[in-house]
Structure 1
Amino acid sequence: MQNYRRRRKDRFPKTERRKWAIRALVFIIVVALGSAVYAGTQIWDAIAKGQDELEKSKLREGQIDMDKDPFAILLIGSDARKEGGHNWRPDVLIVAAINPKKKSMKMISIPRDSYVEIANTNGGKAKINHAALYGYQHGVDPVKNTRETVENFLHIPIDYYAKVNFKGFMDSVDVLGGVDINNKKAFSQGTFGGGKLFFKLGPQHLDGEHALAYARMRKKDPRGDLGRNERQREVLNQLVDKAISLGGITKFSELTQKVGANFSYSFKPTEIPSLIAIYKSIPKKNTETLNLKVTNGRRDRQDVVLVDKQDSERISKILQEQLEWKPKNDQQGTQQTDNQE
């Protein structure tokens, strides 16, 4: 398969820890909750613009009932600057498998550089975050191609998706009044427009643009991804707390209209209340984050992440059990990652 690579300075997190993944899901649900509970017609219209029809998974024999059946959601963090464009890549991929009957949720973050078979390529392999761009270039919907690539990788059906881009993140911070952080290392970070932002040492208040730059800095942090993950959690925790506070509720109209333009999802509006109720019914002890065993490697003259074959099979079985679903003929399928031996 042709190697689809783009030179870029901006990167979103490769993998996320437990709190980040859960908080990301919470924030998406909270925004939807604002539309469902506190909304009038205007807000429903705004959030409805992000609603996108997604065909039933090819791995499902029939439609699922969210209130009764286990289901899987694919959370996508897009590197796009604005919604509506097709030239984007999924920099964050999180799968949440939810079982309403067991009141449990299992989540897994897929490293963006995982070297896997890309859907609709006749067996071609590349980094998993190339799936969207490949789909667009070959007449396949980018979200659909990303979804099918994840399905083939994890060997489970993906029933829903939710996608937010950088602009949606920045707008959320601004609408909610910014965030307060305690910076542990002075640094500078480039912006989308080619400028540079400076962050002093110690406590400070950040707007959306500064919060995104603060959360994404990695190269100048001696702790690398560990430091970046910590800053991301610091920012996202505040966003969630503000969104569920009284102050956040009073701003839901503005929040949904702003984020609605940079947020897409496949839930039906009538399913949002059920999703909220299901999430609230799951105790923290029944929420588990799974971790893939990976190593760094080289493929196609680029750095990639290699997933351990036996471990990926272990993860697949856990998710299949959570979804109470089995592949036809009880086989994992033919798709393979370029894994460790």
Structure 2
Amino acid sequence: MNNRMDRHRQHKRGRWIALGVVIACLLGIFYGLNTIYRSVSSSLSDSYTKIHEKGGRPADAIIRKGQPISILLMGTDTGALDRTDKGRTDTMMLITVSKTKGIHLVSIPRDTMIAIPGLESTFPQKINSVYTFTNVSDTMSTISKYLNVPVDYFALVNMGGLEKLVDQIGGITVKSPLSFTFSTDTSHETGKNLYQFYKGKTTFRYAKDGVHFKTYHKMNGKAALAFTRMRYEDPRGDYGRTERQRLVIAQLVKQAKNPALLLNKTFMSSISKNLRTNLTTKDMLSLATEYYNPKKKVKAISVNETSLWYEGISFQVMPRLEQQRVTNELRSDLSLTHATTGPVLAGNPDKFTIPQAVSQVLYANTSSNSQAATSN
């Protein structure tokens, strides 16, 4: 195994998909459209890939009791643009679903530095490489250990779903937070299939040949993918890209309120080919019929990390105080008692050495006593 797999330059093609596709496949979570959902459940049962990875709790029993659950949403950078390899989970979102508190989302930055449990000799790694090195089960376990919260279910989707989803709902209108030019061929400002977005405007320009531009008022799937992929020209880096992802997600949710656009057998069969999950159709129906609360909105919980270059690689480091704050939020959402957050950088601290520069970020604004108290 190459113990520096993630040292190579990240593939610059599409970086996120998970939530948009899962909105289609798990739409009942948001809108409780159980009647229509039942009409396509047989199609779903036959077409999406079910695997039997389990979290740390008897989640099916938890759903039967109506208690809060968690779902790890992972989007791989494969399945479109000619990518067919296993890929990395460049989108990772932990979603909590509660009858009383609604739906909360925690986006975990793809460049978050960790030591993969059981593979600490490969430290440092990025959290999006856990799946590449291991499997779905170990990825669920790593997130669970890192934040000290149970991960009950997962949904793993690839890039092949976003274009279909946006096109199926007839496109979306999004106001860009900044001006930028992006080629889906080169991932830079020049090349063919060139898009130009403008700050404060919903209109954008596109040139297939990179020269002759036309103006458009609504994004199709390819345009939405380009809008969310750009990273290197954004002065806010991953945080800016995350904002653009949220803008697209908000429009997807808004458009998806029309069930006729999505909940039909042809589309569900097509989109579900891009999905792997351990949620059964029965689980989905239970979430749709029992957990839906129209008065509870979807809430995004931000994660504040610090950028750090280490051995020529750009990482995001989550300070221990921030790690504890996120744990507190998630455990509260899941109606669990307060507990200390998970291990430093997720791995066994006896099996790897934390560089001083990283340690300074981890324990910023904490005393030596609090450092010792939270380092176990």
User: TM-score over 0.5 for the alignment?
Assistant: yes
Paired letter, 2:269: Q
Task: Name the structure 1 match of 2:63.
Answer: 66
1:29 paired with 2:8, answer no
Q: How does 1:76-87 map to 2 (within 5 A)?
A: 76-81=74-79, 87=86
Cα distance in structure 2, aligned partners of 1:302 and 1:273? 44
Task: Name the structure 1 match of 2:320.
Answer: 309
Q: Following TM superposition, by how much is the alpha carbon of 1:99 offset from its aligned partner in structure 2, in angstroms? A: 3.1
Contact 1:35 1:256 in 2 (8 A): no
Contact 2:28 2:288 in 1 (8 A): no
Q: 1:335 to 1:165 in 2, by over 3 A?
A: same
Task: Name the structure 1 match of 2:373.
Answer: none
Paired letter, 1:128: I
Paired letter, 1:149: T
Q: 1:31 to 1:260 in 2, by over 3 A?
A: farther
Contact 2:32 2:289 in 1 (8 A): no
Paired letter, 2:111: D
Specify every segment of 5 or more residues in structure 2 that has no aligned partner in the other structure, as ranges.
Answer: 198-202, 204-215, 347-357, 364-376
Contact 1:179 1:207 in 2 (8 A): yes
Task: Name the structure 2 match of 1:4.
Answer: 5
Q: 1:316 to 1:242 in 2, by over 3 A?
A: closer
Cα distance in structure 1, aligned partners of 2:58 and 2:170? 46
SS at match of 1:65: helix
Contact 1:51 1:268 in 2 (8 A): no
192, 195, 203: which one pairs with 1:196? 192
Q: 1:47 to 1:179 in 2, by over 3 A?
A: farther
Q: Following TM superposition, by how much is the alpha carbon of 1:146 offset from its aligned partner in structure 2, in angstroms? A: 1.6
Task: Name the structure 1 match of 2:148.
Answer: 155
Q: Following TM superposition, by how much is the alpha carbon of 1:182 offset from its aligned partner in structure 2, in angstroms? A: 5.6
Cα distance in structure 2, aligned partners of 1:13 and 1:84? 14
Q: Following TM superposition, by how much is the alpha carbon of 1:62 offset from its aligned partner in structure 2, in angstroms? A: 7.8
SS at match of 2:4: coil
SS at match of 1:179: coil
TM-score for the superposition, normalised by structure 1:
0.78
Q: 1:55 to 1:41 in 2, by over 3 A?
A: same
Cα-Cα RMSD? 3.8
Q: 1:70 to 1:218 in 2, by over 3 A?
A: same
SS at match of 1:244: coil
131, 137, 140: which one pairs with 1:144? 137
Cα distance in structure 2, aligned partners of 1:314 and 1:218? 27
Paired letter, 1:237: A
Q: 1:200 to 1:292 in 2, by over 3 A?
A: closer
Cα distance in structure 2, aligned partners of 1:128 and 1:281? 33
How many pairs align? 323
Task: Name the structure 2 match of 1:243.
Answer: 256
Identity %: 23
Contact 1:74 1:94 in 2 (8 A): yes
Q: Following TM superposition, by how much is the alpha carbon of 1:49 offset from its aligned partner in structure 2, in angstroms? A: 2.8
260, 263, 274: which one pairs with 1:262? 274
Contact 2:28 2:287 in 1 (8 A): no
Q: Following TM superposition, by how much is the alpha carbon of 1:314 offset from its aligned partner in structure 2, in angstroms? A: 2.8
208, 222, 238: which one pairs with 2:221? 208
1:50 paired with 2:48, answer yes
Residue by residue over 1:205-243, the C-alpha shift from the partner in whole angstroms, topping out at 9 and shown as x without a partner, is 333223211232233456655654454344333333333
TM-score for the superposition, normalised by structure 2:
0.71
Task: Name the structure 1 match of 2:127.
Answer: 128
Of 59-68 and 303-312, deviating more is 59-68
Cα distance in structure 1, aligned partners of 2:145 and 2:138? 11
Cα distance in structure 1, aligned partners of 2:269 and 2:308? 43
Cα distance in structure 1, aligned partners of 2:217 and 2:59? 52
Contact 2:3 2:121 in 1 (8 A): no
Residue by residue over 1:93-131, the C-alpha shift from the partner in whole angstroms, topping out at 9 and shown as x without a partner, is 11112333x344433111111111213325653110010
Paired letter, 2:194: F
Task: Name the structure 2 match of 1:139.
Answer: none
Specify every segment of 5 or more residues in structure 1 that has no aligned partner in the other structure, as ranges.
Answer: 15-19, 136-141
Q: Following TM superposition, by how much is the alpha carbon of 1:304 offset from its aligned partner in structure 2, in angstroms? A: 0.4
Residue by residue over 1:52-81, the C-alpha shift from the partner in whole angstroms, topping out at 9 and shown as x without a partner, is 233332x43786321422211101121112
1:95 paired with 2:107, answer no
SS at match of 1:133: helix
Radius of gyration: which is bigger? 2
